[in-house]
């Protein structure tokens, strides 16, 4: 699906939506940073750096395992994501005498508003022996927008027409802004990781 092919699922005329419902959604977002909850959703997603789907950083040198703490730190400080939206989905660390092997994975959600968020998969794996080794960091960032489709009304043709119109008129440009913001965050994150790797080599 192309960028912007969707619209908001709200059972109201467009004029009234602009004055009331969108204001309500904004208040919900500011009071409690939540994503749309629904059993059935329409999902729109885009790779930030299309057609590139992932960023890969390879490090070879001293103490590659020390990058683990740095990645955790930079997720919170550079991407600015609270702990509640960081899931360490995989953690494996084997250490035998002078050798070690590690594999760690994170799922990170950076919320933009009630409907859109930046979803980042980060994988960190490598090994070392006698203090020297190699590590690979893989980053897969996507912008995701979700609209609920639970009710019969939300699945109707009329509602589909309304939400597509709302999205193209009001929300399409906002998603483009979120894409640009996401690119800037990921470039800063990548550069910070590269600087941390260079410092380990010194």
**What is the tens place of the pLDDT at every residue in 54-84?**
999 999 999 999 999 999 999 999 999 999 9
Domain boundaries, the chain: 14-201
3-state SS of the chain is CCCCCCCCCCCCCHHHHHHHHHHHHHHHHHHCCCCCCCCCEEEEEEECECCECCEEEEEEEECHHHHHHHHHHHHHHCCCCCHHHEEEEEEEEEEECCEEEEEEEEEEEEECCCCEEEEEEEEEEEEEECCEEEEEEEEEEEEEEEEECCCCHHHCHHHHHHHHHHHHHHHHHHHHHHHHHHHHHHHHHHHHHHHHHHHHHC
pLDDT of residue 35: 53
For residue 36, the model assigns a pLDDT of 53
Mean pLDDT is lowest, of 35-44, 112-121, 147-156, for 35-44
Rg (CA), the chain: 21
Tell the residue number behind the tokens 């084997």, with chain if given: 94
pLDDT of residue 98: 85
What pTM value is reported for the model? 0.76
């Amino acid at each position: 699906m192309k960028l912007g092919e969707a619209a908001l699922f709200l059972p109201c005329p467009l004029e009234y939506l602009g004055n009331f419902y969108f204001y309500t959604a904004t208040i919900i977002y500011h009071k409690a940073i939540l994503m749309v909850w629904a059993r059935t959703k329409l999902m729109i997603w885009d790779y930030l750096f299309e057609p590139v789907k992932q960023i890969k950083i390879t490090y070879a040198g001293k103490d590659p395992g020390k990058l683990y703490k740095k990645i955790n730190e930079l997720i919170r400080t550079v991407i600015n994501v609270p702990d509640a939206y960081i899931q360490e989905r995989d953690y494996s660390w084997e250490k035998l005498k002078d050798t070690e092997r590690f594999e760690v994975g994170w799922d990170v959600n950076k919320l933009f508003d009630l409907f859109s968020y930046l979803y980042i998969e980060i994988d960190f794996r490598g090994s070392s022996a006698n203090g020297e080794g190699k590590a690979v960091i893989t980053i897969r960032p996507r912008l995701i927008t979700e609209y609920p489709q639970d009710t019969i009304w939300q699945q109707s043709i009329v509602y589909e027409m309304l939400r597509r119109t709302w999205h193209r008129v009001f929300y399409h440009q906002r998603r483009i802004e979120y894409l640009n913001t996401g690119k800037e965050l990921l470039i800063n994150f990548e550069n910070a990781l590269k600087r941390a790797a260079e410092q380990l080599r010194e």
